[in-house]
Structure 1
Amino acid sequence: MNLTGQLLLATPTLREPTFHRTVVLLLDHGDDGGLGVVLNRPMEVDVATVLPPWQPWTTDPGVLFQGGPVALDSALGLVGVPGDGDEPPGVRRINGSLGLVDLDTDPDDVVQSLSGLRVFAGYAGWSSGQLEREIEEGAWYVVDAEPRDAFTDQPDLLWRSVLRRQGGDLAFVATFPEDPELN
């Protein structure tokens, strides 16, 4: 199964702080493993601190997001590319209207073709078979992504809002308390 472009939502049983209540967009998934970015962990660091030319083009709140625990000294640029035409220079589509931009590209060469930009420090990664085991063990829900998920201006509400739109039992999960032991 290839889950590229899907969202992983941490189940309430996943209590490990790095991934507790996270929403992860899978950028790549296959037999060799998976790679994604956490969409709902904004940092208190403006993009201008590390990539000044990209700051004017970042989607609000205009800060770096912690994409995951791996390679925190690297940056990934996630972009929205409207339509289904050719990719702008420096952009590689992942799925639908979502793509990755080479952050060494001159923003002026690409921004007119984008509908959103978010910059992530680090990423989440899984070795071959690891993600499938975690899903089987009940650590993750796998759901369809919508382009707006990657660029929400309310990342702190993303976990609950994605669950609610699923309906049924998953919508109910959105009401679980932050710490069930305090209930």
Structure 2
Amino acid sequence: MTEVSSLTGRLLVATPALADPHFARAVVLVLDHDGQGSLGVVLNRPTPVGVADILDDWADWTGEPGVVFQGGPVSPDSALGVAVVPGGAGPAGWRRVHGAIGLVDLEAPPGLLGAALGSLRIFAGYAGWGPGQLEDELADGAWYVVESEPGDVSSPAPGRLWRDVLRRQRGELAMIATYPDDPTLN
């Protein structure tokens, strides 16, 4: 595997062999990756909890489905806002992560930046790795690393995101999108 200096802004797509229930068939957007470790959010784990139930002020600014997503097993009582801002400079209260994707300051009044957001998702918790931990998992073959697209953050069908992301890859990865949920039933 070729060493990558930073995975920030890329997707980690769980291999079919990854059995950890937090990450089975997960698609993780890497928000930060450096020598101190890595942080990301799982894009395809919607919860039944509506955004209005916990962050009512932000509910009108989130896309469908208007629910909170389980961002990962770390700090599940905290909330992260990830938004796509089309165009050049983003509004105050939004910090660019990669391309048009960035983090929203959920303490800021939604009216100050909500209109500038192309899409917004709220995540409870996040996925985190200590220094070298993610690199070890990559070396063990737990994740495929692929390029993200702004639409991944706000996929209207998060349950299909794992297959959709793999399907748009070339070669062998596209074929893995057809891997059955339970290969023992084949």
Q: Provide the TM-score with structure 1 as the length reference.
A: 0.98
Q: C-alpha displacement at 1:182, in angstroms?
A: 2.0
Q: How far does the alpha carbon of each residue in 1:55-98 deviate from its partner, in whole angstroms, 9 at most, with x for none?
A: 0110100000000000000000001111122x211110000000
**Are 1:64 and 2:55 matched, yes or no?**
no
Q: C-alpha displacement at 1:168, in angstroms?
A: 0.7
| Aligned partner (choices 174, 177, 183) of residue 174 of structure 1 | 177
| Aligned partner (choices 26, 41, 45) of residue 41 of structure 1 | 45
Q: What amino acid maps onto 2:173 in structure 1?
A: L
Aligned match of 2:32: 28
Aligned match of 2:143: 140
Unaligned ranges ≥5, structure 2:
none
Structure 1 stretches of 4+ moved >2 Å: none
Aligned match of 2:160: 157
Query: Distance in 1 between the 2:145 and 2:170 partners?
Result: 14
Q: How far does the alpha carbon of each residue in 1:24-71 deviate from its partner, in whole angstroms, 9 at most, with x for none?
A: 000000011100000000000000111000001101000000000000
Q: What amino acid maps onto 1:78 in structure 2?
A: V
1:109 alignment partner, SS class: helix
The number of residues matched between the two structures is 182
Across the aligned residues of Structure 1 and Structure 2, the Cα RMSD in angstroms comes to 0.6
Query: Distance in 1 between the 2:135 and 2:105 partners?
Result: 29
Q: How far does the alpha carbon of each residue in 1:98-131 deviate from its partner, in whole angstroms, 9 at most, with x for none?
A: 0101101100000111100000000000000000
Q: Provide the TM-score with structure 2 as the length reference.
A: 0.97
